[in-house]
Amino acid sequence: MQDFANADLIVIEGSNMAEAHPVAFQWVIEAKKRGARVLHIDPRFTRTSANADRHIPIRAGTDIVLLGGVIRHLLENELYFAEYVRAYTNASTLISEEYGDPEDLDGLFSGYDPATSTYDTAHWAYAGDTEQVARGLPERDETLQHPRCVLQILRRHYARYTPEMVQNTCGISPEDFEHLATALVENSGRERTAVFAYALGWTQHQGGAQMIRTAAVLQLLLGNMGRPGGGVMALRGHATIQGSTDIPTLFHILPGYLPMPTVGEDDFAAYTRKIGMKEQKGFWADADVYAINLLKAWWGEHATAENDWGYHHLPKLTGAHGTYQTVMRMLEDGVDGYFLFGQNPAVGSANGRLQRLGMAHLRWMVVRDFSLIESATFWKDSPEIESGELRTEDIGTEVFFLPAANHTEKAGSFTQTQRLVQWRDQAVRPPGEARSDLEFMVDLGTRIREKLRDSTDPRDRAILDLTWDYPRDAHGEPDAEAVLAEINGRHLTGERAGEPLASFGEMADDGSTMGGCWIYAGVFADGVNQARRRTPGAEQEEIAPAWGWAWPANRRVLYNRASADPAGRPWSERKKLVWWDEEAGCWTGHDVPDFPLTKRPDDPGDPAQGGAAALAGTDAFTMQADGRGWLFAPTGLVDGPLPTHYESPESTVPNPLYTQQSNPTRVTFRSEDNLSSPGASAPGGAVYPYIFTTYRITEHHTAGGMSRSLPYLAELQPEMYCEVSPQLAEEVGLEPYGWATLISARSAIEAKVLVTERMTPLTIGERTIHQIGLPFHWGRGGTAMIQGDGANDLIGMNLDANTQIQNSKINSCTIIPGRRPQGAERGELVREYRRRAGLVDLEHLEVDGAAGAPGAGPDQTGAVHTVRGPEEAAAVPTEESTTKEMRNR
């Protein structure tokens, strides 16, 4: 966060930082005081725009065209940071002859299989001898002239992303485009750096991962990665949403971004080789070590070399098993029990009606929260009870509501958005029967183990052999520090037995060490809870290394080797961060160097050894199998190695680039309750002519469980509303502060009308495009002080194939004056509009309980370059199928 202040240019796109991250925004203001320029690119004019030097309104979902336009500008005019690009990126790498670009294939990359709607990513591989490629030494052309080198591919790929294309697609004037492009060029290079900040305005798209990738490509070309005031900053929305992906409660990964094994992966060595091979460059070469240490932490003395460290205890995936697939399974009575830990899907997840109907199909659910949220009371007062669609007496779901302890009532750690782990001490005991989730889990596990104690069933072995002996205090509360110490890991044998690991470098592959999450090794170094360190900021330099602890190794800027030139000298005095100290013979600087400490800048690397030893002295991207920053991603993404523009499925604008209208790998669920408008693809799309995009406001948090019951916050923002432009209000006949009803293909909701010039109608070709803003914090039912219709009820379960995250940011609707009908008439209104649009009710196909989701399954082809690195889950390659019409879950 503080590093924003080091930037010369801050581009905030897909985020309303001033409102959603107000306290972090002080560093943007700080940067402005130091002379930085701030640009805000967003469909809405917001508090962020008000503090920016310029607000550029954009048509939602066209970010790849805009940033692709800047990439073209850099390449056509030779304005990229050439020395950085040559040394640190894969610009010179040659790509396989099999590669075909969407420019030549009308919107598809080579390797597409229309039967499964998936790609064979082998088509995008690096060129060269297989063994050499495996060692991170593909064919290269250092002159960057070869037609198959990445830079030339990039040049051709973005050749049509002209300022005119930007204007006609994004609704951004050539003048605004020029301003952005020039600002980026002027504020990058040796002396200056620019940073991008984004949030869910990029993530929540079908194609969201690729929007983020576009910024990464751009920042690599500009030489802004790994440098002070540079990078691509993900502004994450929850206290430990970063921690929830590092130490995940996500179906596709284990702690430390190790993938969950998929069916058929029964050979442990093959499993770890798929993550990282011994001969590849960088730190993923030791994937086997990280996996062994995790298994050893879980199964203790029962994890041995003979039984592959308990690897065969792990359940296997058969496709995507994300939260939306699970909802579909619930609707088919395929799920017995559902645990909610501080989560409110009845309001917070897409297609709220299906979420609530799904819960009515469960046998039992456990809701752990502070108050009776909508997900706890759906059986009593949900919109479906109101409409008569559900009857309380008919719902067979048993509900256990267990009161939860809040953040002051338990000790533990959060990992915030810059990977900083911060510990909270316990201030008071939780009231009544409120308990921490930690105590709940320890208690539940202990009870189940006790009940199964005498079981001889082999399936119970994994539970009974688990290490599950956590010390508790006098009140029965487990010691959270003991859990953090297990996550950190320790030596098990030898002289240092019992000692915490100081770093993941101390992890061994012979069972003499264990550690629950390799990237967190060091958080408990020297037996000290490093996350609890609180040396005041005023007593430290700005990077503040003695406040909390950042993974990995307390490093604050990833890939900071790139802050020095190839010879190891800072690019400039002004942007000095980490450099080579010739006298001391090591890397040094203001941050913990992200490089083998004593490896000289001119070290050629030792390909025979693999791993960190194989890195050359200029291989700054130490997690990549070739040591380079990837302009072209040969693996890791399921929808293409380069970002390319598609229209969102409900977009009312035809794709100006290809006849392929939308991302061909997108995931959706076929159901009459999850229909989509055809958008620009069919005349019926005109029934839903307006685009709506959801957002968050300062005074509320997500589904409202932590804000709509707090008197101050409830009073500050009491009502659900929609933001519309004066022109749209005029067109539709909406009265300021009156009511409007919004109707999508899924549902109809009502909202108060806020007519504001903050919403800009955009001119796209001959047409005017109207966008509507909707906050998503409200819901109906439960005991919250304030209630309102939920914006997520309007949204379908339509997912990005890389991340399985829903598209909340571009959906279409119509808007009419007045309140929505009550009772059964509400559903009738929705169906009436569907009929007008010619949407046919689809019957969704049966789930095969055993097989899970079909489709391509895991990417088996790209082992060499597979990155499951410290990116957010959104950017981590998936194991799951990506079928366009997911027939199964």
Partner 1 sequence: MARRTFLDWPVIRQLRGADPTGRGTAVTSERTRRTAPRTAAADGVTDSVCPYCAVGCAQRVAHQDGRVIQIEGSPDSPISRGRLCPKGAASEQLVSFSRRETTVRYRRAHGTEWEDLDLDTAMDMIADRFIAARRRSWQDEDEHGRPLKRTMGIASLGGATIDNEENYLIKKFFTAAGAIQIENQARI
Where in 340-399 is the site for partner 1 (CB under 8 A)? 340-345, 348-350, 363-364, 366, 370-372, 376, 379-380, 392-399
- How many other CB atoms are found less than 10 A from the CB of residue 58? 26
Q: List, in sequence order, every residue forming a beta bridge with 820; answer none if it has no partner.
A: none
What's the min distance (Å) between Cβ of 205 and partner 1?
14
**Minimum distance from CB of 888 to partner 1 (Å)?**
12
Full 3-state SS string of 813-842: EEEEECCCCCCHHHHHHHHHHHHHHCCCCC
Nearer to partner 1, 198 or 587 (CB): 198
409 binds partner 1 (CB under 8 A): yes
Q: Which range binds partner 1 by CB under 8 A, 92-100, 533-541, 643-651, 721-729? A: 533-541
- φ, ψ for residue 519 (rounded to 5)? -70, -15
- In the complex, the smallest distance separating the C-beta of residue 572 from partner 1, rounded to whole angstroms, is 25
- List the structure tokens of 130: 């297989």
609 vs 638: CA distance, rounded Å: 31
Q: Any contact of residue 798 with partner 1 (CB under 8 A)?
A: no
Using the CB atoms, write b or e for 727-758: b if 16+ within 10 Å: ebbebbebeeeebbbbbbbbbbbbbebbbeeb
Among 707, 798, 807, 878, binds partner 1 (CB under 8 A): 707
Residue owning tokens 């900083």 = 420
CB of 703 to partner 1, least distance (A): 9
Q: How far is the CB of 797 from partner 1 (least distance, A)?
A: 11
- Does position 338 interact with partner 1 (CB under 8 A)? The reply is yes
Stretch 481-500 residues interacting with partner 1 (CB under 8 A): 483-484, 486-487
- C-beta of 83 vs 386, nearer to partner 1: 386
Q: DSSP readout, 55-74?
A: EE---TT-HHHHHHHHHHHH
**CA torsion through residues 626, 629, 633, 635, sign:** positive
Q: What is the DSSP letter of 392?
A: G
3-state secondary structure 562-576: HHECCCCCECCCCCC
Instruction: Give the range of 402-410, 505-513, 748-756, 862-870 binding partner 1 by CB under 8 A.
Output: 402-410
Contact between 238 and partner 1 (CB under 8 A)? yes
Our finding on whether 235 is near partner 1 (CB under 8 A) is yes
The interface with partner 1 within residues 434-453 (CB under 8 A) comprises 434-438, 440-445, 447-448, 451-452
The one-letter amino acid code at 571 reads W
Question: Tokens in use for 53?
Answer: 């030097």
**Two tokens, residue 781:** 């039912």
Judged by CB under 8 A, the stretch of 160-168, 429-437, 566-574, 638-646 that binds partner 1 is 429-437
Taking the least distance from each CB to partner 1, the nearer of 192 and 532 is 532
Q: How far apart are CA 834 and CA 415, in angstroms?
A: 44
Q: Alpha helices, DSSP H only, in 141-252?
A: 150-157, 163-170, 174-186, 200-203, 208-221, 243-246
Identified binder of partner 1 from the candidate list 82, 105, 239, 567, rule CB under 8 A: 239
**557-596 positions binding partner 1, by CB under 8 A:** none
8-state DSSP, 127: P
Q: Residue type at 282? A: G
**Residue in 227, 236, 645, 666 binding partner 1, rule: CB under 8 A:** 236
* Listed ranges 112-120, 212-220, 403-411, 677-685: which one lies at the site for partner 1 (CB under 8 A): 403-411
Using the rule CB under 8 A, is 544 a contact of partner 1? Answer: yes
Binders of partner 1 among 723-752, rule CB under 8 A? none
- ∠828-830-375 over CA atoms, to 5°? 95
Applying CB under 8 A, which part among 41-49, 602-610, 646-654, 848-856 lies near partner 1? 848-856
Q: Is 851 in the site for partner 1 (CB under 8 A)?
A: yes
Interface with partner 1, residue 538, by CB under 8 A:
yes
- For residue 48, the minimal CB distance to partner 1 (Å) is 14
Q: Which of residues 342 and 726 has its CB atom nearest to partner 1 in the complex?
A: 342
Candidate list 22, 174, 765, 823; residue touching partner 1; CB under 8 A: 22
Burial string for 619-653 (b: 16+ CB within 10 Å, else e) reads bbbbbbbbbbbbbbbbbbbbbbbbbbbbbbbbbbb
Q: Compute the distance between CA of residue 297 and CA of residue 320 in angstroms, rounded to an integer.
A: 26
> Nearer Cβ to partner 1, position 340 or 740?
340
How many Å apart are CA 866 and CA 258, to the nearest integer?
11
Our finding on whether 784 is near partner 1 (CB under 8 A) is yes
d(CA 135, CA 124): 17
Count CB neighbours of 872 within 10 A: 18
Position 400 contacts partner 1 (CB under 8 A): yes
Phi-psi region of 550 (alpha: psi -120 to 50; beta: other; left: phi over 0): beta
**335 lines the binding site for partner 1 (CB under 8 A):** yes
Asked if 713 is part of the footprint of partner 1 (rule: CB under 8 A), the reply reads yes
Instruction: Give whichever of 32 and 329 is closer to partner 1, judged by the CB atom.
Output: 329
Beta-carbon contacts of residue 56 (< 8 Å; ≥ 6 apart)? 39, 40, 41, 42, 172, 176, 179, 180
Output the six-digit token pair for 100. 């075909």
**Residue of 187, 530, 554, 803 interacting with partner 1 (CB under 8 A):** 803
Smallest gap, in angstroms, from Cβ of residue 166 to partner 1?
31
CB of residue 883 to partner 1, shortest distance in Å: 18
Residue from 805, 813, 839, 875 binding partner 1 (CB under 8 A): 805
Whole-angstrom Cα distance, residue 221 to residue 575?
Answer: 17
Pick one of 46, 49, 416, 798: the residue that binds partner 1 (CB under 8 A): 416
Q: Does 240 bind partner 1 (CB under 8 A)?
A: yes
Q: Which residue lies nearer to partner 1 by CB, 533 or 600? A: 533
Among residue numbers 637 through 676, which ones bind partner 1 (CB under 8 A)?
A: none
Site for partner 1 in 62-91 (CB under 8 A): none
| Residue list 294-323, contact with partner 1 (CB under 8 A) | 298, 312-318, 321-323
The rounded Cα 422 to chain-centroid distance in angstroms is 21
Residue 224 interacts with partner 1 (CB under 8 A)? Answer: no
Indicate whether 462 belongs to the interface with partner 1 (CB under 8 A).
yes
Asked if 422 interacts with partner 1 (CB under 8 A), we say yes
Which residue, 14 or 255, has its beta carbon nearer to partner 1?
A: 255
Phi and psi, residue 713, nearest 5°: -70, -40
Least distance CB 716 / partner 1 (angstroms): 6
Name which of 174 and 849 has its Cβ closer to partner 1: 849
- How near is the Cβ of 417 to partner 1 at its closest, in Å? 4
Residues 610-639 that bind partner 1 (CB under 8 A): none
Cis peptide before 458 (omega within 30 of 0): no
- Hey, is 588 helix, strand or coil? strand
Q: What is the 3-state secondary structure (H, E, C) of 244-288?
A: HHHCCCCCCEEHHHEECCECCCCCHHHHHHHHCCCCCECHHHHHH
34 scored as a contact of partner 1 (CB under 8 A): no
Options 76-84, 153-161, 563-571, 846-854: segment touching partner 1 (CB under 8 A): 846-854
Residue 246 or 506 having the CB closest to partner 1: 246
Q: Under the criterion CB under 8 A, does residue 410 sit at the interface with partner 1? A: yes
Contact pick of 152, 415, 725, 807 for partner 1 (by CB under 8 A):
415
- In the list 173, 512, 756, 783, the residue contacting partner 1 (rule: CB under 8 A) is 783
In this structure, the dihedral spanned by the alpha carbons of residues 664, 668, 671 and 677, taken in order and rounded to 10 degrees, is -60
The one among 433, 495, 583, 757 contacting partner 1 by CB under 8 A: 433
